[in-house]
Amino acid sequence: MKIASIASGSNGNCYYLENDNDAILVDAGISARQIVQRMANLGLSMSKVRGVFISHEHTDHVRGVDVLSRKYSVPVFMTQKTYSSYGKTIKDSLLNFFSPGKQMKIGKIHVNPFLKFHDAAEPCSFLVSSERMNVAVMTDIGLKCSNVIAHIKNADAIFLESNYDDDMLQKGHYPPYLKVRISSDLGHLSNTQAGLIALEHASVRLKHVFLSHISENNNTPELAFRTFNNFIKQRKDLKPKVFLASRYKESILVSLD
Ligand SMILES: [Zn+2]
Ligand SMILES: [Zn+2]
């Protein structure tokens, strides 16, 4: 499998996963034009993409999905509740509903959606499997729930939210209600929470980590990177490559084998 972050953060999320024959996107939170451009920068084309899987209805995860779907006739997958809250329309013939806990097959890619804690209608993370590799896409999580723990154990690679630094959030200029929302069990994961999840629950399988959904105002990529490494170095049995998923540009395309 090969994977890349196309965009990550509060102004848009999109993650690319492929095997030899097929590809999928998780979320389409920047414009369709930008998604296609950033994929092209990696030599990737929409002609291989068989589906876009939507984690939840927040704008930074759905912004480009209607245009992308229409323009490239690519099927969209989301839960019925997410669609009801989405507020726009996806063409009937391209719209597919999934249920959390029920596996889907796209060629030889298996997509397992599972529920997460976040302030959306029916928010899901995904474990995407192919060629004996498991990739967990886990952003916008308020809490390390049993689903997060269960799936990180099997992951060879993760897109893991590392949204905010506790100090920067508390001392920053966000209004109190927003600080509470971000750090609540229905908000986002801090650098510390992300590090602890990997430290306590990752298995020796874990080889690649994309620190994702990094806040522009309450975090820095360097701080997220340093905090994560400080936790993970306590695991002598683990030495994952750690990447920073950017809001401004695509990552490199990482081959998992
Ligand atoms: Zn969200
Ligand atoms: Zn988000």
φ/ψ bin of 182: left (φ > 0), alpha (ψ from -120 to 50), beta (otherwise): alpha
Pairing of β 109-115 and β 104-106: antiparallel
What percent of the chain is predicted at pLDDT more than 70? 100
Residue 230, pLDDT above cutoff 90: yes
Which helix (H) or strand (E) segment is 171 a member of? Answer: helix 166-171
Residue 160: the pLDDT is 98
The span from the CA of 147 to the CA of 133, in Å, is 18
pLDDT, one tens digit per residue, over 193-218 is 999 999 999 999 999 999 999 999 99
Per-residue pLDDT reduced to its tens digit, 114-154: 999 999 999 999 999 999 999 999 999 998 899 999 999 99
pLDDT, one tens digit per residue, over 68-101 is 999 999 999 999 999 999 999 999 999 999 999 9
Ligand 2 is an ion; its neighbours by CB within 5 Å are: 60, 140
Q: Find the 9 Cα to ligand 2 centroid distance in Å.
A: 6
Which ligand has an atom closest to residue 10 CA? 2
Residue 51 pLDDT: 98
pTM metric for this prediction: 0.97
**Rounded to the nearest whole angstrom, what is the distance from the C-alpha of residue 213 to the centroid of ligand 1?**
10
Confidence of residue 107 (pLDDT cuts 50, 70, 90): very high
pLDDT tops 90 at residue 67: yes
Give the closest ligand to the alpha carbon of residue 116. Answer: 1
CA 97–ligand 1 middle distance (angstroms):
19
Helix, strand, coil percentages (3-state) for the chain, rounded to 5, are 30, 25, 45
- CA–CA separation, 128 vs 25, rounded Å? 11
What residues are neighbours of ligand 1 (ion), with CB under 5 Å?
58, 140
- What is residue 127's predicted lDDT score, i.e. its pLDDT? 98
* C-alpha 236 to ligand 1 mean position (Å): 33
Q: What is the pLDDT of residue 109?
A: 98
Contacts of 99 (CB under 8 A, 6+ apart): 79, 113
pLDDT at residue 171, as a whole number: 96
Residues 158-204: pLDDT tens digits? 999 999 999 999 999 999 999 999 999 999 999 999 999 999 999 99
CA of 213, nearest ligand number = 2
Query: One-letter amino acid identity for 64?
Result: G
CA of 130 to the centre of ligand 2 (A): 25
All structural domains of the chain: 2-248 (3.60.15.10)
Ligand 2 centroid–CA 249 distance in Å is: 16
Place 257 in a pLDDT band, splitting at 50, 70 and 90. Answer: confident
